[in-house]
Amino acid sequence: MIDIVRLMKPIQYCKILLVIIWCFFSPVMSFSENPPFIDGCFRYSPYGQSLLADVHPNFVRFDVASVTNHQEWDWGQTGKSMRWNTFGHFGINLPLWSGRLKEGKSSLVVTLPVSASIWLDLGEPVTAPVVNTDYRIAGPVVTYVHHTDSYLIRNYSISFAPYKHESTHLGDEMTIQRIDNHLPLTRANVSYHYSEYAFTLNEPNCNKRSCHTFRIGLMLLWNARRGWYFIDATDGDGTLAQPRFSPWEAYLQYQYQSPLKKGLFHYVASVEVRNRALYGYPEFTWSPETVVLYELQDERRVFTYNVFLGLRFCNPKNTSYFSRASVGLRAYHGNNPYGQFRNHANFNHVGLCIVFE
């Protein structure tokens, strides 16, 4: 019964949030100068969308990159320090409602973000394993935008996501390899509920002008004492984990887009600095004789850095989903951002990146 109650909590919160939105804003939308409320249902809005350097965005992204190699995700055991890997991120911000509020000075956007990340080792000639998959879902996310249309600050927005969830899963080949080599920890269960808040200056809004966008965000765990992960008795020795009370994650993002060139593309530069937890369990290495080596590791705070530089091509006749495609270079440094490998510090990623928004 307790598990059912916990499962129902996010659903109940999302229903309450929708009722509040309806009760508060439907009277405002009833003025004659505004379109009927029903016209805003399931309508795309450019506000509240992810910036290009977001590590966990709500758009589609493909990477072919040279990344830091480690025995734990090198199925072929090549021993190389860097290897080429492939990453696919499939995200979308499903529109629930969007529209202008009274007198058109502000907007409200309600979306439902969903995403999945897949890490593939396509360069491994025997099995090309799936290294890791991450899944993220959320309840309704509300973004309020106020339009100032001044020269420096054209708008600002506040975004509130009361419920989000992430679950991550180690690839089958990687799990079997850890079992065959008798690692004392097969998998860490990285699964948690959280809320997220963000404040943005100058939402890009698909416009043709140059734009400097600043965003600051905060993630807060629902269950602070449980933390970001746990180790089940069937998955290994739980005493190897050294968690600490660290139930938050914060980020600062900046993005510049140039004026539209030849009516087709922008130059784009996007940067993210994030402070998050480096998970507190060991990194493992082993020899052909299956001698496993590791040191205990305390959970601690680390900074991560993600940069995208490139071109964004725009469809001049459409500003909805998949109307923009970006090509460029993406570089990352910090702890490994994927699944249970977030206990690994000093992970580097440099390569070609293609984005569809």
CA–CA dist 167, 165 (Å, integer)? 7
Query: What's the confidence (pLDDT) of residue 265?
Result: 92
Decide which of 276 and 105 is more confident: 276
Task: Tell me the per-residue pLDDT of 53-98, one tens digit each, with 9 for 90 and over.
Answer: 999 999 999 999 999 999 999 999 999 999 999 999 999 999 999 9
User: Residue 7: which pLDDT band, with cuts at 50, 70 and 90?
Assistant: very low
User: In this predicted structure, what is the pLDDT of residue 291?
Assistant: 76
User: Which residue, 285, 284, 292, is CA-closest to 343?
Assistant: 284
The residue type at 160? F
For residues 170-180, average pLDDT: 95
Q: Residue 34, class by beta-carbon neighbours within 10 Å (0-12 exposed, 13-18 middle, 19+ buried)? A: middle
pLDDT band at residue 160 using 50, 70 and 90 as cut-offs: very high
Q: Which domains does the chain show, CATH number per domain?
A: 2-356 (2.40.128)
77-93 residues labelled b (16+ CB within 10 A) or e (exposed):
eeeeeebebbbebebbb
DSSP track, 79-114: --SEEEEEEEEEEEEEEEEEEE-GGGSEEEEEEEEE
The mean pLDDT of 200-223, rounded to a whole number, is 91
Return the sign of the alpha-carbon dihedral for residues 26, 357, 55, 294.
positive
Residue from 277, 279, 278, 282 nearest 240 by CA: 282
pLDDT digits (tens, 9 = 90+) for 288-346: 776 788 988 999 999 999 999 999 999 878 778 888 999 999 999 999 999 999 999 99
Residue 29: pLDDT band with limits 50, 70, 90: very low
Taking 70 as the threshold, does the pLDDT of residue 206 lie above it? Answer: no
At residue 75, the pLDDT reads 95
Note whether 41 and 22 are within 8 A (CB): no
The DSSP letter of residue 92 is E
- 19-33, 107-121, 235-249, 271-285 — which is least confidently predicted? 19-33
What is the pTM for the complete model shown? 0.88
What is the C-alpha separation between 226 and 341, in angstroms, rounded?
18
pLDDT computed for residue 83 by the predictor: 97
Residue 102, pLDDT score: 72
Collapsing DSSP states into helix, strand and coil, what is residue 335?
coil
| Average pLDDT score, the chain | 89
Cβ 214 vs Cβ 254: under 8 Å: yes
The SS3 of residue 76 is coil
